[in-house]
Amino acid sequence: MGTLPELTDGETVTGGAAAGTQCAMDHEQLHRRTRERGVNRLVLFVLRVTLTPFFLVYLRMQRIGREHIPAEGPVILASNHRSFFDPFIIGTMTRRPVYYVAKEELFAYSRVLRWVLNALGAFPVRRGAGDQDTIDTARIILERGELVLMFPEGTRTRPGTLGKPRRGVGRLALETGAPVVPVAIIGTEDIRRGWRIRPRKVRLRAGRPLHFPRVDGASPALAGAVTDRIWPMVMLQWEWLGGLPPIRRATIIGAGAWGTSLAVLLARAGLNVELGCRTREQAAAVAATRTNDPYLPGVELPESVRVVRAAELELVDCDLICLTVPARGLPSVLAAHAERIPQGAGVLVLSKGLVPPLGTLPSAFVAERCAARAVAVFGGPADAAEVLEHGASVVLATVDRGFARQLAELLGATGLDVSKSSDVTGVELAATAKNVAVLAAAVASVAGPNVAGAAAGKVFAEVDALARARGGRPETFAGLAGAGDLVAGVVSSSSRNRRAGELLSQGVPASEIGNALGQAVEAVDSAPLLASVARDAHLQAPALESLAALVEGRLEPGQWTATVTAEEAAPPRHYLRPVTKARL
């Protein structure tokens, strides 16, 4: 509904409805009516008599801790905010009138709605600007011994965990001396779809009042400190109701370059991190030196990162589990850890490529074998070493909106620019396409940039066709996860896939490239699997087929380069379409 003005850091005191045009109403008149006349008790009585049974029966509303709300005297209710209905549902927690702030645009819809909202205790705020009227009105209401509802998050926060509070609630508590009752509400985020009210179970819980001394002219630092005391109590009620807790502890399985880099990033964001190494010797060396020089030289692990052997990891209390092993290593990792991944944890998969022997997407492979509440994947142009110094723009893909918001905020706190997507298939196949396209370009580069560009373009387009046949979106390959990542891979001198392609062009067998580079090369593993999956999907993919033949040793590098621009190797214009519709 609205936010408190800039003077209180934009803090919301009610939830938002659909935005309207900037209203031109008598702002001062509404505030004056609220200050001098208060709520219309007849209208409030009629509304509560009507809505409370509806909430109890249709929404199966459950109210816990009503006895903690004082029956008299000034009170601030500090609650999380999920829906437009929150003020009305929270108002049933007490028989007392509940005042709240609503965004100014709501009062412009109609004169009737304007009168009803104001009669029920709502008063307007000009969002995004200082509004002394709003501050004064809230203070006057409390000073005359009444109750004000505040939403410290500043806006509706849904889905997922609670948002971060703003310090306005702390300032108001200090300047009025009113006790603060922490309240949590869960279930309202799904009850409204357009004008339809859906039967969702709604639960509320109020905690014991918090008391703070009255301070005139409280400083921002002091107001922030008080807010930091209030908000954990709201989170406590939220988690008691079964709400999703914030990510506090993360475990990373796989101490390669990205595993080490991610451990540093998450530690910087304030998480307790465990880094699981493949062998006892690697764990001992990294723990002793606090560096992982074979994979990420010169980067020191923060003290909050605990390094252990992967087999010794304790996953029971983990909020986030990150899998940073090559795709071919996922079967053994899931065999060792899947049963111990808790249901409340989310899994972030950074494995690129396809999982042998069937060419399964990593996210699907993980989701089928563990009970995690959600699985997400990570894509886009992001080098493990560069991201620590310069940041990166990345794509986070998951079908779980709550997990998406939770991870995006966490990764954003590490300095990353995060774009969210629900196209998991597209993001995973785009990363795979980038790897094999860079490999193809590097092999063909001995014949010049024209041939290299043709090799990369044809391979990339064929994997794009595969992604579309499996439900991927065209814009995914055209964006950061596809074209952006491809450009980064082609120009990067440290790309393993690029170096692998150069070795292939020199006649080094694919089976020896991993040992030569000291790390797994995703493209070498993925090319034959992609060709096989494309055949199963009835797609014409001549560039993938020939690249797979090269990797498998059935074609010499010189022969393969010659086929890239050969007329007979060029697919017909319709090759981007499946011959028969592939099933997802």
Instruction: Please tell me whether the overall predicted TM-score, pTM, comes out greater than 0.85 for this model.
Output: no
E strands present in 131-191: 147-150, 180-186
Do residue 169 and residue 63 come from a single domain?
yes
Distance (Å) of CA 501 to CA 459, 495, 525, 570: 14, 10, 13, 21
559: helix, strand or coil: helix
Closest CA to 433 of 539, 498, 530: 530
Do residue 255 and residue 277 come from a single domain?
yes
Task: Look at the chain and report how many structural domains it folds into.
Answer: 3
Which residue range(s) make up the domain with 302? 249-422
| Residue 390 burial class via C-beta count within 10 angstroms: exposed 0-12, middle 13-18, buried 19 and up | exposed
Tell me the two tokens of residue 91. 């108002």
Question: Is residue 159 one of the residues assigned to a domain?
Answer: yes
Do residue 447 and residue 414 come from a single domain?
no
Do residue 359 and residue 467 come from a single domain?
no
Question: Is residue 35 one of the residues assigned to a domain?
Answer: yes
Do residue 191 and residue 98 come from a single domain?
yes
- The string of DSSP letters for 78-110 reads EE----TTHHHHHGGG-SS-EEEEEEGGGGGS-
Tell me the two tokens of residue 240. 């008691």
% of the chain residues with pLDDT over 90:
66
User: Considering 362, 393, 422, which residue would you say is the last residue of a domain?
Assistant: 422
CA pseudo-torsion sign 31, 34, 40, 45: positive
User: Considering 422, 452, 487, which residue would you say is the last residue of a domain?
Assistant: 422
Closest CA to 477 of 527, 423, 438: 423
Closest CA to 183 of 277, 89, 111, 78: 78
Query: Are 216 and 175 within 8 A, CB to CB?
Result: yes
Distance (Å, whole) CA 128 – CA 262: 35
Do residue 508 and residue 412 come from a single domain?
no
Question: Is residue 582 one of the residues assigned to a domain?
Answer: no
| pLDDT tens series, the chain, 584 aa | 544 443 344 444 443 333 333 344 477 888 888 888 889 999 999 999 999 999 999 999 999 999 999 999 999 999 999 888 899 999 999 999 999 887 787 787 788 888 888 888 888 877 655 567 777 888 999 999 999 998 888 777 777 888 889 888 998 999 999 999 999 999 998 887 777 888 889 999 999 999 999 998 889 999 999 999 999 999 999 999 999 899 999 999 999 999 999 999 999 999 999 999 999 999 999 999 999 999 999 999 999 999 999 999 989 889 999 999 999 999 999 999 999 999 989 999 999 999 999 999 999 999 999 999 999 999 999 999 999 999 999 999 999 998 999 999 999 999 899 999 999 999 999 999 999 999 999 999 988 999 999 999 999 999 999 999 999 999 999 999 999 999 998 888 888 899 999 999 999 999 899 888 888 889 999 999 999 999 999 999 999 999 999 999 999 988 888 888 875 444 434 344 443 333 33
Distance (Å, whole) CA 124 – CA 25: 10
Do residue 17 and residue 154 come from a single domain?
yes
Let me know if 201 is a catalytic residue.
no
Give the CATH number, domain containing residue 459.
1.10.1040.10
Question: Is residue 479 one of the residues assigned to a domain?
Answer: yes
User: One of 164, 352, 420, 434 is an active-site residue; which one?
Assistant: 434
Give the CATH number, domain containing residue 71.
3.40.1130.10
| Residue 391 burial class via C-beta count within 10 angstroms: exposed 0-12, middle 13-18, buried 19 and up | middle
Do residue 530 and residue 400 come from a single domain?
no
Which neighbouring-strand residues pair with 360?
355
User: Considering 240, 257, 281, which residue would you say is the last residue of a domain?
Assistant: 240
462: helix, strand or coil: helix
Do residue 50 and residue 177 come from a single domain?
yes
Do residue 543 and residue 558 come from a single domain?
yes
Instruction: For tokens 């723990």, name the residue.
Output: 287
